[in-house]
Amino acid sequence: MTPAETEERVVPPDAPAERLDKTVARLFGISRGRAMEWIAEGRVRVDGKRAPKGAPAPPGARIAVTKPPPDQPAPEPDLPIRIVHADAHLIVADKPAGMPSHPLKPGETGTAANALVGRFRELAGVGRSGREGGLVHRLDTDTSGLLLAARTDAAHAMLRAQFSGRTVEKGYLALVAGEIHAGGEIALPLLHDPRDPRRMQAASDAAYAEEHGARPAVTRFEPVERRGGFTLLDVEIPTGVMHQIRAHLAFIGHPLAGDALYGGPDLPGLSRHFLHANRLAFAHPDGSRARYESALPADLSEALRRL
């Protein structure tokens, strides 16, 4: 766990005379509410002494703040996650269904980030957010498959740039309701469904999409095989918007099998949606072209066999 850090700033000689909480907020670039929290927690010193939030902070005063350590995933080395590849720059892991990618709130456990930090402790300090545990992207909780994490800040920046630049090959296997006989592309922006905040909504009206801040999203698919009124698709997404594959395929009338949130039909013996991140390909920080694959897990293979 990264230790807390102390920073010190001097109130400029021409600064207006203000309360301590306002001064801390201005000097350290935080909200006034956060400044008051730090003062109440005893993290703020004025010329070496604690002071209340309403105390004056005159020009020339030395304000020291001991910042709380970043919120990082608790190490859980015994969580079930398969390490597909590990080197000095990155980790590729195969996440099981039912496991969130990373914590969404302080103290949350049971996520892929907890599992990875438990095995590779340096991941706790890598990434834009302490909770990400070095992860470069994420998967829905009930989506299984390949996750990529960076072991250094340099590798994280390089890999994130590839995701942002849409140069990472992200492949999935998806079983959808109905028969699809030809491949296609869905290029519709996505936004949160105003009727149900759990869902994403495809916006076919450009003006509506722009007005509501919809995010660009592109989903490409090819049929692999058709069985019992379902189609197994090979899917690629250059973009990465929340629920992208699920929302796009539901929009064209072919929701994922087992995806109750988007209207997908149940499959006997399957307790989650049929979506597996089966391949990742990208430029490795060492200069090579990396490619990793993951076979369908047992629950999806069995559900497909039963068709």
Residue-wise pLDDT tens digits, 202-229: 999 989 888 888 999 999 999 999 999 9
Is 145 in contact with 276 (CB distance < 8 Å)? yes
- The pLDDT of residue 32: 85
- Residues 262, 248: Cα–Cα separation, whole Å: 10
CB atoms within 10 A of CB 84: 16
What pLDDT does residue 3 have? 52
What does the pLDDT look like over 59-116, one tens digit per residue?
999 999 987 666 788 899 999 999 999 999 999 999 999 999 988 877 788 999 999 9
| Gap between the Cα atoms of 93 and 106, Å rounded | 23
**Cα separation, 15 vs 18, whole angstroms:** 8
pTM of the model: 0.77
Averaged pLDDT of the chain? 92
Which of 21, 94, 140, 142 is the catalytic position? Answer: 140
The answer to whether 196 is a known catalytic residue is no
Backbone angles phi, psi at 101, to 5 degrees: -70, -45
Section 51-60 average pLDDT: 91
Where b means 16+ CB within 10 Å and e means fewer, 34-70 reads ebbebbeeebbbbeeeebebebebeeebebebeeeee
Q: How many residues in total does the chain contain?
A: 307
Q: Which of 144, 145, 129, 146 is nearest to 282 (CA)?
A: 146
Burial class (CB in 10 A: 0-12, 13-18, 19+), 261: middle
Instruction: Look at residue 1 in the predicted model and tell me its pLDDT.
Output: 40
Measured between alpha carbons, how far is 191 from 11 in angstroms, rounded to an integer?
A: 44
Q: What is the 3-state secondary structure (H, E, C) of 149-206?
A: EECCHHHHHHHHHHHHCCCCEEEEEEEEECCCCCCEEEECCEEECCCCCCCEEECCCH
Asked whether the predicted pLDDT for residue 2 surpasses 50, the reply is no
Dist CA 275 CA 267 (whole Å): 13
The predicted-structure confidence for 125-182, as pLDDT tens digits, reads as follows: 887 667 788 999 999 999 999 999 999 989 999 999 999 999 999 999 999 999 999 9
